[in-house]
Amino acid sequence: MLTAPARQPTVRTNGESPVRLTRSQLQAVIETCEFDRWMNLQVEALDDKTLTMRLPFRAEIVGTPKVDRLHGGVVASLIDVAGCYLLIALLNKRVSTVNLVVDFLRPAHGELIAVARMVKMGRSVCNLTVEVTGSDGKLAATGRLVIVPSNVTVGEEHQMIGSTASRGSEQEKAMRA
């Protein structure tokens, strides 16, 4: 039986370079999120279609200590952030996940590697897939995401409605008083 070759995703760029952020710039964006910084997420590779991220092993992310299995919530979070950060790198815009489907294929162990791939970049929503492998090199989980880009450029988050950036400074002032 013949099968059609896999269709490569395309990213509309209006003549500009598809990747707007470099690996180091994207890593700096990751460092602005307290949860992602706590997870110690590392950008391993980035191009105009894929992002590879590493989640180092740490005892706090083990869900079942007797079998050294990582917590499913951590795996799902890794899928979510890998998809979001690929889109952030391509657009240099903040994004929101509107749908996330995770298929857990086997228990995840040790350091995790997530590879996010753009499936379709639409006008208002983007579809991505993410594959997560464990330290044994076996596929542990897959995810499908629908993500909506905002019109807020990275670094301009104070423009977001209900932004905690402005509240954060007010909270800091109150704590100092």
Does residue 2 belong to any structural domain of this protein?
Answer: no
pLDDT of residue 149: 92
Q: Which of 21-25, 115-119, 147-151, 171-175 has the lowest mean pLDDT?
A: 171-175
Tokens 């070759």, located at residue = 5
CATH of the domain at 70: 3.10.129.10
Gap between the Cα atoms of 147 and 138, Å rounded: 27
pLDDT digits over 7-51, tens only?
333 344 444 445 589 999 999 999 999 999 999 999 999 998 999
DSSP 19-87: --S-HHHHHHHHTTSHHHHHHT-EEEEE-SSEEEEEE---GGGEEEGGGTEEPHHHHHHHHHHHHHHHH
Gap between the Cα atoms of 56 and 135, Å rounded: 10
Under the banding of pLDDT at 50, 70 and 90, the label for residue 84 is: very high
Q: How many domains does the chain have?
A: 1
**Short-list 78, 93, 155, CA closest to 124:** 93
pTM comes to: 0.79
Gap between the Cα atoms of 56 and 42, Å rounded: 8
pLDDT of residue 19: 58
Does residue 10 belong to any structural domain of this protein?
Answer: no
Distance of CA 18 to the CA centre of its chain: 17
Does residue 167 belong to any structural domain of this protein?
Answer: yes
Does residue 139 belong to any structural domain of this protein?
Answer: yes
Does residue 165 belong to any structural domain of this protein?
Answer: yes
Does residue 5 belong to any structural domain of this protein?
Answer: no
Instruction: Give residues with Cβ within 8 angstroms of 124, minimum separation 6.
Output: 148
Does residue 128 belong to any structural domain of this protein?
Answer: yes
Under the banding of pLDDT at 50, 70 and 90, the label for residue 164 is: low
Helix (H, G, I), strand (E, B) or coil at 164: helix
Does residue 108 belong to any structural domain of this protein?
Answer: yes
Residue-range definition of the domain harbouring residue 61: 23-176
Strand-pair partners of 143: 102, 130
